[in-house]
């Protein structure tokens, strides 16, 4: 969020209902769920939540349209209608699989090199520094990712292409981000 705001000069973030991004200040603003919010607010402003296109827990009737189509139309409405005030969006935070994922603290961030060049060195502190367990788990994960028999990188590339095709539902609205 911090980098997206810096690079774009915008301040709003789109997150999705059902997402878990942590429980500390700004990340908790993205996370949804009563147990994470009740008694802990106020949270960072500028977060706009949209329905996640997961048919099992989708909040709208999917009799005539798929969850993906309805969610895509909703985000398109958010981004292209003056009545929503979503006119300053810096990023959309999307979890490929929603929910609380893990308990070993380690994080990663992927962005284009031209955008990364705009981020000052030392501006991304972490909460997992000097954690030997996290480092060991991360090195094992990297080893698995590089295993030619598993071919996980090519699988990730394939899934990324499928995700990109699915995001095309949002049309030009996402290209503006």
* CATH number of the domain where residue 9 is located: 3.40.640.10
- Tell me whether residue 114 is in a domain: no
- Tell me whether residue 128 is in a domain: no
> What confidence category does residue 167 fall into, taking pLDDT thresholds of 50, 70 and 90?
confident
- Tell me whether residue 161 is in a domain: yes
- The mean pLDDT value of the chain amounts to 82
pLDDT of residue 49 exceeding 90? yes
Phi and psi at 91, nearest 5°, equal: -160, 160
Of 101, 137, 127, 86, residue with least CA distance to 21: 101
Quote the CA–CA distance of 154 and 172 in Å, as a whole number.
Answer: 28
Mean pLDDT of 148-155: 93
Structural domain span for residue 55: 2-101+147-175
- Tell me whether residue 171 is in a domain: yes
Peptide bond into 89 cis (omega under 30): no
25/126: higher pLDDT: 25
State what percent of residues in the chain have pLDDT above 90. Answer: 29
Mean pLDDT of 39-43: 84
- Tell me whether residue 43 is in a domain: yes
- Tell me whether residue 14 is in a domain: yes
Cβ-based neighbour number of residue 2 at 10 Å: 11
- Tell me whether residue 44 is in a domain: yes
Number of domains observed in the structure of the chain: 1
111/83: higher pLDDT: 83
The per-residue pLDDT for range 57-101, each reduced to its tens digit, is 888 888 899 998 999 999 999 999 888 889 999 999 887 767 655
pTM: 0.62
Residues with Cβ within 8 Å of 20's Cβ and at least 6 positions away in sequence, in order, are 31, 32, 33, 36, 95, 98, 99, 100, 101
- Tell me whether residue 13 is in a domain: yes
Inter-axis angle of helices 132-146 and 152-167, nearest 10: 90
């Amino acid at each position: 969020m911090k980098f997206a705001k810096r690079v774009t000069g915008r301040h709003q973030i789109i997150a999705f209902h059902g997402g878990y991004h942590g429980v500390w200040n700004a990340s908790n603003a993205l996370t949804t769920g009563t147990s994470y919010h009740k008694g802990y607010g106020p949270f960072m402003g500028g977060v706009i939540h949209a329905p996640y296109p997961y048919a099992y827990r989708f909040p709208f009737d999917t009799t005539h349209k798929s969850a993906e189509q309805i969610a895509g139309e909703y985000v398109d409405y958010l981004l292209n209608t003056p009545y929503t005030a979503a006119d300053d969006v810096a990023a959309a935070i999307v979890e490929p699989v929603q929910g609380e994922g893990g308990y070993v603290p380690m994080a990663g961030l992927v962005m284009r090199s031209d955008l990364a060049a705009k981020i000052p060195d030392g501006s991304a502190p972490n909460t997992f520094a000097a954690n030997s367990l996290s480092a060991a788990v991360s090195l094992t994960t990297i080893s698995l990712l590089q295993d030619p028999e598993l071919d996980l990188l090519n699988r990730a590339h394939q899934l990324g292409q499928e995700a990109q095709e699915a995001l095309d539902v949002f049309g030009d609205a996402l290209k503006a981000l």
